[in-house]
Amino acid sequence: MFDRRFINYFDWGLLGLSVLLGFVGLATLYSAVSSSIPTQSPHKILYFKQLIWYGAGLAVMVIAFLINYKSIERWALLFYGICILLLVCVMYFGKYVGGAKRWLILGPISVQPSEIVKIAVIISLARYYSKIANTGGINLRDLFTPLVITIIPFFLIVKQPDLGTAMLVILIAGSMTVFIKIEKRSLLFIIVSCSLIAPMVWFFLKGYQKIRILTFLNPDRDPLGAGYHIIQSKIAIGSGMITGKGFLKGTQNALFFLPEQHTDFIFSVLSEEWGFAGSTALLIVFLMLIIYGLNVAYRCRDPFGTILSVGITSMIFWQAFINIGMAMGLMPVVGVPLPFISYGGSSIISIMICIGLLINVSMRRFMFE
Amino acid sequence: MTKYLKTADMEWYKQRVIISMLFVAAAFIVLFVRLFYLQVIKGDELRRLSENNRIRLQSTDPPRGLIFDRNGVLLVDNRPSFDLSIILKDAKPVKETIRKLSKYIHVSESELTAKIASAKHSSPYKPIVLKQDIGRDMLAAVEVRKYDLPGIGVNVKPRRHYINKHRAAHLIGYLGEISSGELKSSKYSELKQGDFIGKFGVEKAFESFLRGKRGGRQVEVNVMGQVVSVLKTVDARPGKNIFLTIDHILQKQAEVLLKDVAGAVVAMDPENGHILALASSPPFDQNIFVDGMSHEQWEALISNPFRPMENKAIQGEYPPASTFKIITAIAGLEEGIIDDNFIIYCPGHYKYGNRIYRCWKRGGHGNVDLVKALAESCDVYFYQVGQKLTIDRLASYATACGLGSPTGINLDQEAEGLIPTSAWKRRRTGISWQGGETLSVAIGQGYNLVTPLQMVVLTAAVANGGIRYKPLILKEIKTAEGKTIISGERQSIGQLPISKQTLARVNKCLWEVVNHPKGTGRIARIDGIDVSGKTGTAQLVKRRDDDTESEADISDHLKDHAWFVSYAPSVDPKIAVAVIVEHGEHGSSAAAPIARDIMRTYLKKDEYDRHLRLAANPSMRITIKDKTQTGEKDAIQRSM
C-alpha cells in the first residue's frame, strides 16, 4: 500500500510556501490584535485561537493528501451533498452574528460551512469537466449540470447573506469553465443573453437593493461605512511607504475604524508595518504559490487532477486578488478572507485542505499508466 | 459533430495552464502597480494623513420626531445642547489642557479628570464628554480660546424638550440613556452608548418612528484635532412626527382639575376610540429625565406616597365600586332576573347568612326598581341581583364587557385588573367561594379591580350602542416633510353582551343618575346638554368576610376612592369620560364635577374657545371653577 515514491515525489515546495504564509499571517494577526484597544486583552485570545486552528489545519491537510485523489473523485457527489446539507442546516440552526447567519455551532467551536462548500464545488466540477472536455470547447447543453452544481450553493450563501463567498463560488466555477473552454457560439450566446437580462433584473430590484448594489460598486456612496474603511485602509497602506513603520508600530488600525481589521483588512495592517518592501514580498510569495499550484496542474497526467488543481489554484488566486485589491481601493468592499493571513478558523481549514489536495495531485503524478 | 471527436489530450491541457499562468501574472502586475502608486508615489501624502489619524468620522445625531396633539399643537420638540468633549490623543499634554480648561470654565480639575477616568476603556480617539449642555457663557469661553485648548471640542446635539411642564407626562413619557442590555438587542443595532431612547409612554411605544437615522461626516483634522476641512457629509435624517389623538385643551383642563388630588382622568370619543385626554396625578417633570436629575429629585419621585411615576389611568387598579352596577344590571337584564316585576324593598340593609350587608343609605331607599336602583345607587337591590346571578355568571358578563383584561392600548405596562371567579379564588387561596362575597362583587367591591381606561372603554361602549373600541392614542404619523405614513385606524375589540333594547334601558337609567332629582350624579348636569353617568365610591381597604367597619373609623389616608363614569350628550354621544379621585370619598362630589367640566369644554364651543384663549394667554386666568360651581348648585336646587 505505502509507496516510497510518495516521499520522493512529495511537494516540499508547496508545503514550505504554505508554512511561510502561515507564519506571516500569525505575525500580522498578532500585531493587529495588540495594537487595537490595549485594555481589551480578550482580543489576544484571537491570536491563540488562530494558532490552534493552524494546528488543526495541518492535520486536515495530511488527511487531504493521504487519500488518493482518485477516490476523492469517486466520492465527489457524496461530499457535495453533505456540504449542501450543512448549508441548509445553517439556514435553520445557524447563529446570527452581525446581521448574517453564516455559522453553525458545534460544541465549543463555530464553523462556516460556506468555506468548505467552495472545495466541494471545485471537486464536483472537476469530475464533470474531466469527462466531457474536448478541444473544440463545451456547448450550452454541457453547461447545464455545472450551472446546477454552482447555483445551489450560490443561492444558499446569498441568503445568509455572504455576498463575498457567493461571488467567489461563481468566480471559481467560471474560471474552471473558461479553462475547459466554451465553444465560440455558446460563449457568444451567454455574453449576449447576460447583457440583455442584467438591465431587466435591475428594473425589477427594489429601491434599497439598488442602493446596496450601487454602494457595493462605489464605496464612496457610503462615506460613513465602506467608503471610510477604504480611505483609512489606503492611508494605512500608503503611510507604510517603502520600508514600513516597523513591526507593531502601525497606528492606523489603533483607530476605531476597522472592526474587520483582523479579517478583511489584514493586508493594510501588514502593509503599514512592512511598507512597499514587505508588501511586495508578500505579493511575490502569493504569486509563487499560485504559479506553483498551476504547475501541479501542468505536470499532472490526468484530466481530473489537472482541472482539480486549476480549480483550487483559482480559488487561492481570486481570494488573494480580491482581498488585496479591495484593501488598496481597487475593488468593491466584500468580505473575502486573505488566505493564510486573515483571522478565521473555517478559512484556515479550507485553505489547508486545498494545499493538501494540491500536494495530493502533485505527489501522485507518476502513478499513472 | 466533429468537434466531439477531438478529445482533449494532456498537451492541450498544458497549453491552457500556460495561458492561465499569464493571466495570473497580469493580475499581479496590476496589484504591484497599485501598491507602488500608494506607497511610493502617494506615500508622503498618505503618511502625513496617518499622523494622528487625520481623517476622522464625526457622527451627527438625528433630531427626534416631534409630538403634537390632534390639532397640531406642538407638545414636545428638541432644543440644541452644547456638549463639551475631549479627545485624549489630540489633547497633548492632557494635564496641561485640563488645567487650562478648568480655569476657563470654572469647573474643578478633579471633576474633569474623574470624567476622563470613567471613560478609560474607550479608544483614545473617541471623544469623551466632559460636560453636557453647557451654557452660552461657558461655550463662549471655550470657543474664544479654541487654539489654546487642543483636543477640546464642542458638539451640538439635539436634546429633547417637553414644552409644557407636566403636560401629559404619563402619556408622552420620557427618554433615558440606552442601557447595556438594550444595546445588545437587534432592535437598537444602530445605536451606541450614550444615546437616548424612549423609556416610557409614547416616547417608548413609537420609538422606532421617532428616532431618525444618524448621519455623519468625514473630516480632516489638524494636529490639535480641530477640523480643517469637511470631506464628505451624510445628513442625519430626522425622525417621524407623531400626532396624538389627545386635545391639548382637554388634557390641560384634566390636569388642572386633578391638580391637588391623586387620581386619573380618561376621555374618549365613543365613536372611534380616540383618547381625547389621559391624565394621571400627581404628574412628574419629564425634562429632568433628559437633563439629568439629582439623587434627591429621584428619591422624591419614587418615595412620594401618591406615586407620581405611575400612569394611574392605565396602571392604577381600583375596585370599580358602584360603577360596576352597570355590569350587574346588564347581567341581570340579559339573564332575565331583572324584569318589570322585579322590585325590591330596601330597608337600608340586607341580611345574608348570618351577616348584615348595608346599603350606603342608612335609612334605606324603600321600594326600588332598576331605574331607581341605578339612579340612587341602591346596594340592597344589586345584592339580590348578584345573589341570583351567582359569581361565575356575573364574572362572565364582566369579562365579556372587557374587564379583567388589558384593553390593548399602545402603551407599556397596562394593568389587566381582576374579575374574580370561584375557580380563581380556589386556585389563589384554596378556600371555596362564599356566597356573601358575590354580594360584594355585585356592587363592585370585594376582589374586583379595574383601571380607569377599562372603565372609559366600557362607558363608551354603553354610550355608542355596544361596540367596544380599542383605545387609540395615535392619530397619525407624518414625515418631517409632512407626508402621512400611518393613520390610527378605528378598531373594534368586541361587543357588549347585551341586546340593543336592553342596552337602551341601561342608557335610560344612566340618564336618570344625572337627571333624576335624587340621582347621585346630578352635579354633573350641563346646561343644554343631556349627560348620563354612574357614580362610584370605592372602599380602599378590602373588606374581609367578617369585617363590619363603619366609615367613621377610617382615617384620612384610607378614605374611599371616588369614581365617575359618564358620557354626553346622552343621545348620539360625542365623549365618554372616566374619573377616579383617590381618597375623594364620594364619586358624586369629588369625581363628577371633573368629568362634567371636561365634557362641557369639549361639547360647548364657546367654552372651548374660552379655554383656548386662556391657554394662549395664561395671564388672564380667572377662577372658572368657583363661578361654575355656584351656577351648578343653583341648577340642582331648581330641579329639586
Distance CA B136, CA B295 (A): 26
With cut-offs at 50, 70 and 90, classify the pLDDT of residue B270.
Answer: very high
Q: Which of A224, A301, A310 sits opposite B20 (nearest CB)?
A: A310
- Phi-psi category of residue A107: left, alpha or beta, with phi > 0 → left and psi -120 to 50 → alpha: left
Alpha-carbon Rg for chain B, nearest whole angstrom, is: 34
Tell me if B7 is assigned to some domain.
no
Say if residue B239 is in the same domain as residue B254: no
* Contact criterion met (CB < 8 Å) for B124 and A254: yes
Please report the pLDDT score of residue B548 as a whole number.
46
* Nearest partner of B41 among A32, A325, A328, judged by Cα: A328
φ/ψ (deg, to 5) at B380:
-60, -40
Say if residue B171 is in the same domain as residue B285: no
Please report the pLDDT score of residue B206 as a whole number.
95
Per-residue model confidence as pLDDT tens digits over B175-192: 988 888 887 777 787 788
* Contact criterion met (CB < 8 Å) for A37 and B218: no
* Nearest partner of A267 among A341, A359, A343, A364, judged by Cα: A341
* Nearest partner of B440 among B360, B373, B382, B353, judged by Cα: B382
Please report the pLDDT score of residue B232 as a whole number.
86
Say which of B322, B377, B532, B570 is annotated catalytic: B322
Tell me if B42 is assigned to some domain.
no
* Nearest partner of B512 among B326, B379, B371, B343, judged by Cα: B371
Per-residue model confidence as pLDDT tens digits over B508-556: 999 999 999 999 999 999 999 999 999 998 876 544 334 444 444 556 6
Percent of chain B clearing pLDDT 70 (strictly above): 92
What's B362's DSSP letter? Answer: T
Please report the pLDDT score of residue B92 as a whole number.
79
- In chain B, residues with a C-beta closer than 8 Å to the C-beta of A237 are 35, 38-39, 46
Distance CA A125, CA A80 (A): 10
φ/ψ (deg, to 5) at B8:
-70, 130
Say if residue B383 is in the same domain as residue B514: yes
Residue B295 has pLDDT above 50, yes or no: yes
Instruction: Give residues with Cβ within 8 angstroms of B637, minimum separation 6.
Output: none
- In chain A, residues with a C-beta closer than 8 Å to the C-beta of B44 are 241
Say if residue B263 is in the same domain as residue B237: no
Where b means 16+ CB within 10 Å and e means fewer, A27-59 reads: bbbbbbbbbbeeeeeebeebbeebeebbeebbe
Which chain A residue has its CA at the smallest distance from B123's CA? A37
Residue to mutate among A142, A176, A233, A237, with most B CBs inside 10 A, is A237
ipTM reported for the complex, 2 dp? 0.93
Please report the pLDDT score of residue A43 as a whole number.
62
With cut-offs at 50, 70 and 90, classify the pLDDT of residue B634.
Answer: very low
CATH number at residue B100: 3.90.1310.10
- In chain A, residues with a C-beta closer than 8 Å to the C-beta of B121 are 37, 39-40
Please report the pLDDT score of residue A42 as a whole number.
56
Say if residue B239 is in the same domain as residue B264: no
C-beta of residue B302 within 8 angstroms of C-beta of residue B309: yes
For chains A and B, count residue pairs whose Cβ atoms are closer than 8 Å. 166
Per-residue model confidence as pLDDT tens digits over A111-130: 899 999 999 999 999 999 99
Say if residue B221 is in the same domain as residue B282: no
With cut-offs at 50, 70 and 90, classify the pLDDT of residue B635.
Answer: very low
Show the beta-strand stretches assigned E in B443-573.
467-469, 474-478, 484-487, 492-495, 532-538, 561-568
Residue B5 has pLDDT above 70, yes or no: no
Tell me if B146 is assigned to some domain.
yes
Show the beta-strand stretches assigned E in B287-416.
344-346, 349-352, 355-358, 366-368
Say if residue B424 is in the same domain as residue B289: yes
B332, burial (CB in 10 Å: exposed 0-12, middle 13-18, buried 19+) = buried
* Contact criterion met (CB < 8 Å) for A134 and B8: yes
Residue to mutate among B24, B221, B231, with most A CBs inside 10 A, is B24
* Contact criterion met (CB < 8 Å) for B31 and A325: yes
- In chain A, residues with a C-beta closer than 8 Å to the C-beta of B185 are none
* Contact criterion met (CB < 8 Å) for B57 and A287: no
Please calculate the CA angle B78-B82-B86 and round it to the nearest 5 degrees.
140
Tell me if residue B322 falls in helix, strand or coil.
helix
Residue B621 has pLDDT above 60, yes or no: no
Peptide bond into B282 cis (omega under 30): yes
Per-residue model confidence as pLDDT tens digits over A96-113: 776 678 888 887 788 899
C-beta of residue A307 within 8 angstroms of C-beta of residue A125: yes
C-beta of residue A331 within 8 angstroms of C-beta of residue A319: no
* Contact criterion met (CB < 8 Å) for B24 and A256: no
Q: Which of B17, B34, B44 sits opposite A328 (nearest CB)?
A: B34
Say if residue B201 is in the same domain as residue B214: yes
With cut-offs at 50, 70 and 90, classify the pLDDT of residue B633.
Answer: very low
* Nearest partner of B397 among B503, B466, B496, judged by Cα: B496
With cut-offs at 50, 70 and 90, classify the pLDDT of residue A164.
Answer: confident
Residue B299 has pLDDT above 70, yes or no: yes
* Contact criterion met (CB < 8 Å) for A291 and B21: yes
Q: Which of A136, A241, A254 sits opposite B43 (nearest CB)?
A: A241
Say if residue B555 is in the same domain as residue B529: yes
Active site residue B322: yes
The shortest C-alpha distance from B529 to chain A (Å) reads: 55
Residue A299 has pLDDT above 60, yes or no: yes
Distance CA B598, CA B33 (A): 80
Mean pLDDT of chain A: 87
Please report the pLDDT score of residue A78 as a whole number.
95
The shortest C-alpha distance from A15 to chain B (Å) reads: 20
With cut-offs at 50, 70 and 90, classify the pLDDT of residue B638.
Answer: very low
Residue B90 has pLDDT above 90, yes or no: no
The shortest C-alpha distance from B15 to chain A (Å) reads: 9
The shortest C-alpha distance from A172 to chain B (Å) reads: 13
Tell me if B45 is assigned to some domain.
no
- In chain B, residues with a C-beta closer than 8 Å to the C-beta of A278 are none
The shortest C-alpha distance from B37 to chain A (Å) reads: 8
Please report, as a single letter, which amino acid is at residue B269: D
Distance CA A254, CA B126 (A): 11
Starting from the edge strand earliest in sequence, which strands make up the sheet with B275-281, in order?
A: B275-281, B263-268, B575-581, B561-568, B532-538
* Contact criterion met (CB < 8 Å) for B3 and A330: no
Please report the pLDDT score of residue B546 as a whole number.
40
Which chain B residue has its CA at the smallest distance from A301's CA? B10
Please report the pLDDT score of residue B433 as a whole number.
92
Say if residue B224 is in the same domain as residue B272: no
State the pairing for strand pair B241-244/B474-478.
antiparallel
Pick from A100-109, A262-271, A272-281, B420-429: least confident: A100-109
B272-298 average pLDDT score: 92
Tell me if B102 is assigned to some domain.
yes
Please report, as a single letter, which amino acid is at residue B393: R
Per-residue model confidence as pLDDT tens digits over A53-68: 999 999 999 999 999 9
* Residues listed for chain A: 369
Mean pLDDT of chain B: 87
Residue B139 has pLDDT above 80, yes or no: yes
> Bigger pLDDT: B632 or A367?
A367
Pick from A246-255, A306-315, B135-144: least confident: A246-255
SS3 of A105-174: EECCEEECHHHHHHHHHHHHHHHHHHHHCECCCECCHHHHHHHHHHHHHHHHHHCCCCHHHHHHHHHHHH
* Contact criterion met (CB < 8 Å) for A272 and B16: no
* Contact criterion met (CB < 8 Å) for B123 and A37: yes
Say if residue B187 is in the same domain as residue B91: yes
Please report the pLDDT score of residue B192 as a whole number.
80
The shortest C-alpha distance from B288 to chain A (Å) reads: 33
Distance CA A265, CA A258 (A): 8
Pick from A242-246, A314-318, B73-77: least confident: A242-246
A289, B137, B176 from A323: Cα distances, Å: 16, 52, 42
* Contact criterion met (CB < 8 Å) for A254 and B123: yes
Range of B485's domain?
A: 248-298+309-639
Please report the pLDDT score of residue A225 as a whole number.
78
* Contact criterion met (CB < 8 Å) for A294 and B17: yes
C-beta of residue B471 within 8 angstroms of C-beta of residue B491: no
B305, burial (CB in 10 Å: exposed 0-12, middle 13-18, buried 19+) = exposed
Starting from the edge strand earliest in sequence, which strands make up the sheet with A95-97, in order?
A: A95-97, A100-106, A109-111
C-beta of residue B67 within 8 angstroms of C-beta of residue B76: yes
- In chain B, residues with a C-beta closer than 8 Å to the C-beta of A294 are 17, 20-21, 24
With cut-offs at 50, 70 and 90, classify the pLDDT of residue B52.
Answer: confident
Peptide bond into B320 cis (omega under 30): no
* Nearest partner of A275 among A256, A255, A247, A254, judged by Cα: A247
Which chain A residue has its CA at the smallest distance from B235's CA? A224
> Bigger pLDDT: B309 or B91?
B309
In chain A, what are the domain boundaries? 20-66+222-369, 75-181
Tell me if B395 is assigned to some domain.
yes
Please report the pLDDT score of residue B619 as a whole number.
54
> Bigger pLDDT: A259 or B318?
B318
Residue B589 has pLDDT above 80, yes or no: yes
Please report the pLDDT score of residue B319 as a whole number.
93
Q: Which of A40, A251, A290 sits opposite B24 (nearest CB)?
A: A290
φ/ψ (deg, to 5) at A244:
85, 165
Tell me if residue B331 falls in helix, strand or coil.
helix
Per-residue model confidence as pLDDT tens digits over B422-454: 999 999 988 999 988 999 999 998 899 999 999
With cut-offs at 50, 70 and 90, classify the pLDDT of residue B6.
Answer: low
> Bigger pLDDT: B57 or B256?
B256
- Phi-psi category of residue A263: left, alpha or beta, with phi > 0 → left and psi -120 to 50 → alpha: alpha
Alpha helices in chain A, H assignment, sequence order? 5-8, 12-35, 42-66, 69-74, 76-93, 113-132, 144-158, 163-180, 184-204, 207-217, 226-239, 266-299, 303-327, 345-363
SS3 of B456-473: HHHHHHHHHCCEEECCEC
Show the beta-strand stretches assigned E in B443-531.
467-469, 474-478, 484-487, 492-495
Say if residue B344 is in the same domain as residue B404: yes
With cut-offs at 50, 70 and 90, classify the pLDDT of residue B40.
Answer: very high
As a whole number of Å, the end-to-end CA separation of chain A is 17
Distance CA B49, CA B591 (A): 71
Number of domains in chain B: 2
Q: Which of A238, A283, A310 sits opposite B17 (nearest CB)?
A: A310
Percent of chain B clearing pLDDT 90 (strictly above): 57
Residue B49 has pLDDT above 90, yes or no: no
The shortest C-alpha distance from B324 to chain A (Å) reads: 51
- In chain A, residues with a C-beta closer than 8 Å to the C-beta of B40 are 241-242, 276
Please report the pLDDT score of residue A41 as a whole number.
53
B321, burial (CB in 10 Å: exposed 0-12, middle 13-18, buried 19+) = buried
CATH number at residue B518: 3.40.710.10
Pick from A37-46, A269-278, B240-249, B629-638: least confident: B629-638
* Contact criterion met (CB < 8 Å) for A276 and B30: no
Q: Read out DSSP for B240-306?
A: PEEEES--HHHHHHHHHHTTTS-EEEEEE-TTT-BEEEEEEES---THHHHH---HHHHHHHHH-TT
* Contact criterion met (CB < 8 Å) for A223 and B8: no
Per-residue model confidence as pLDDT tens digits over A186-229: 999 999 998 998 888 888 777 777 777 787 778 778 888 778 88
C-beta of residue B105 within 8 angstroms of C-beta of residue B82: no
- In chain B, residues with a C-beta closer than 8 Å to the C-beta of A254 are 123-125
Residue B246 has pLDDT above 70, yes or no: yes
> Bigger pLDDT: A281 or A245?
A281
* Nearest partner of B478 among B210, B214, B161, B190, judged by Cα: B210
B8-23 average pLDDT score: 91
Please report the pLDDT score of residue A254 as a whole number.
59
* Contact criterion met (CB < 8 Å) for A242 and B189: no
Instruction: Give residues with Cβ within 8 angstroms of B627, minimum separation 6.
Output: none
B321-345 average pLDDT score: 92
A135-147 average pLDDT score: 89
Tell me if residue B476 falls in helix, strand or coil.
strand
φ/ψ (deg, to 5) at B349:
-160, 165
Tell me if B315 is assigned to some domain.
yes
Instruction: Give residues with Cβ within 8 angstroms of A244, minimum separation 6.
Output: A271, A272, A273, A274, A275, A276, A277, A278
C-beta of residue B230 within 8 angstroms of C-beta of residue B550: no
State the pairing for strand pair B241-244/B67-68.
parallel
- In chain B, residues with a C-beta closer than 8 Å to the C-beta of A328 are 31, 34-35, 38
- In chain B, residues with a C-beta closer than 8 Å to the C-beta of A286 are 28
